[in-house]
Amino acid sequence: MTSITKELETVEFRERLDAESAIPVLVFLASGVLWLLVGSALGIIASIKLHAPDWLATIPQLTFGRVRPAHLDVVAYGWASLAGVGCLIWLTSRLCKTPIRQRGALIASAALWNLGVLYGTGAVLFGYSQGVEWLEYPLPAAAIIAVAFLLFAWSILSTFHARQAEHLYVSLWYVIASVVWFPILFVVANLPIYSGVEHAAVNWWYGHNALAIWFTPIGLALAYYMIPKVIGRPIYSYYLSLLGFWSFALFYNWNGIHHLVGGPVPTWLQTISIIASVLMVIPVMAVAVNHHMTTIGHFKLLRTSPTLRFTVFGAMCYTAVSFQGSAEALRNTQEVVHFTHYTVGHAHLGVYAFLSMILFGSMYYIIPRVTAWDWPRPGAIRLHFWLAALGISLYFLALTIGGWLQGMAMNNPAEPFVNVVAGTRGWLILRSIGGSMMGLGHLVFAFLFFEMLWRAGPRRGASPWEDAK
């Protein structure tokens, strides 16, 4: 047995795995990067409109009510999903120790997925949104994406079925779980059969679960792989991995209704979702301790490995955003922050500071292995990191402080509403600055990415600022 395991670890074997997954991985990653640029542009436009409301106000397609959901959909279904799928394909093949299966299905999936996002986003911009947050895409677009997802799931499950690995590493638990959970969630939530309060409840059951059982597993699967891989030591504790995964599976799916605290939803439903949100402390603590104890003593690698730097930043933000979320679900906090910019800050701490940073980190690791090219320009990678990290920090702080003050002011009956609105202006401008820094970082990253695709840029070979010597 051990000789086979050794065999599976050889350079030749990994060369083959990478070679077989290269095309699907690159197709998904390239689509993701393009959607990232589109999504950033939409996000920055929406952000600026909040403090300069007359800007572009005469073009119906670019009014706030359309640009803002279009931004969300593009970054969620375009960037994060496509880049996430690209990374998961590579990861699954590596962890199952077998070449990726159903490559044709994957290419079809990428094509359909892009079509779905293009169609859905176009529909939103031209006024054919379903008007339900996170589920704006009209049914045909959603159906296309559902088919694309099933094709992807088919490939992952076939690969899993053909696995040669003896032990299922924790990352794989998350991948397999999300690949089974998400299609069910997506289809059920899109059924055109809900109305009224019930629709609102399904809406947020979906909205939060899109994060809970799709985006978060992507981020955690990648973090669980990249951190020990780059450092070169096992993950700290199998028992923590188990506790983290099962409590995550048990509690996270109940969280959604905390978006409706104070709304006309049965009290017990709100209470249960608050409880589940607080119980998320358990899986988050388990993951945080596991990652921290693995990294401890190796923090100096953050200086030389872009993968580790981005991934550890993301993993720390996972802990932060989750603890914040547990506190935010409580009724007392909701009284202040509901309907304020604070919530938007929280959302970006999750999808950007946690998920997107881990996606960047993983892509810095994966892309050289599927292009056979070393990243050129370490300086540009550093620039990307600092633009993204400082940009999201400014963004988050501005909306968190500004949103809290906004909530306090809204609760004060003596304060006229327009004063409250005017009071958010400065914070919103800071947010636009933070968002633009992130956008600039994405341009740098996209430039590097396409250099890699062309195998262009200075040849470096082994040098500092690279992953694991």
Q: Which of residues 31-90 bind other proteins (CB under 8 A)?
A: none
- Is residue 463 involved in binding other proteins (CB under 8 A)? no
Q: Mind giving me the DSSP string for 130-173?
A: --STT--S-HHHHHHHHHHHHHHHHHHHHHHHT---SS--HHHH
Q: At what angle do helices 425-453 and 357-371 cross, to 10 degrees?
A: 10
CA gap 78, 445 in Å, rounded: 16
Residue 232 beta carbon to other proteins: minimum distance, rounded to whole angstroms = 3
Q: Of these, 204, 236, 245, 313, which contacts other proteins (CB under 8 A)?
A: 236
Q: Of these, 47, 81, 98, 114, which contacts other proteins (CB under 8 A)?
A: 98
Give one word for 11, left, alpha or beta, with left for phi > 0 and alpha for psi -120 to 50: alpha
Q: How many chain residues touch other proteins (CB under 8 A)?
A: 87
- Is residue 414 involved in binding other proteins (CB under 8 A)? yes
Question: Which of 4-12, 66-74, 333-341, 351-359 is the region at the interface with other proteins (rule: CB under 8 A)?
Answer: 4-12
Q: In degrees, to the nearest 5, what angle opens at C-alpha 263 toward C-alphas 257 and 266? A: 65
Question: Which of 80-88, 240-248, 338-346, 384-392 is the region at the interface with other proteins (rule: CB under 8 A)?
Answer: 240-248
- Is residue 23 involved in binding other proteins (CB under 8 A)? yes
- Is residue 458 involved in binding other proteins (CB under 8 A)? no
Q: At what angle do helices 81-96 and 139-161 cross, to 10 degrees?
A: 10
- Is residue 164 involved in binding other proteins (CB under 8 A)? yes
Cα-based torsion angle of the residue sequence 51, 55, 60, 61 in order, rounded to the nearest 10 degrees: -80
Q: Which of residues 328-387 bind other proteins (CB under 8 A)?
A: 331, 368-374
Q: Of these, 239, 299, 339, 386, which contacts other proteins (CB under 8 A)?
A: 239
The single residue listed with the structure tokens 């985006």 is: 215
Name which of 308 and 430 has its Cβ closer to other proteins.
308
Question: Which of 127-135, 275-283, 377-385, 426-434 is the region at the interface with other proteins (rule: CB under 8 A)?
Answer: 275-283
Question: Which of 51-59, 66-74, 137-145, 233-241 is the region at the interface with other proteins (rule: CB under 8 A)?
Answer: 233-241
Tokens of 115: 């079509």
Q: How far is CA 189 from CA 84, 185, 248, in A?
A: 21, 6, 21
Name which of 254 and 354 has its Cβ closer to other proteins.
254
The single residue listed with the structure tokens 């999504």 is: 39
Residue 67 near residue 27 (C-beta atoms within 8 A): no
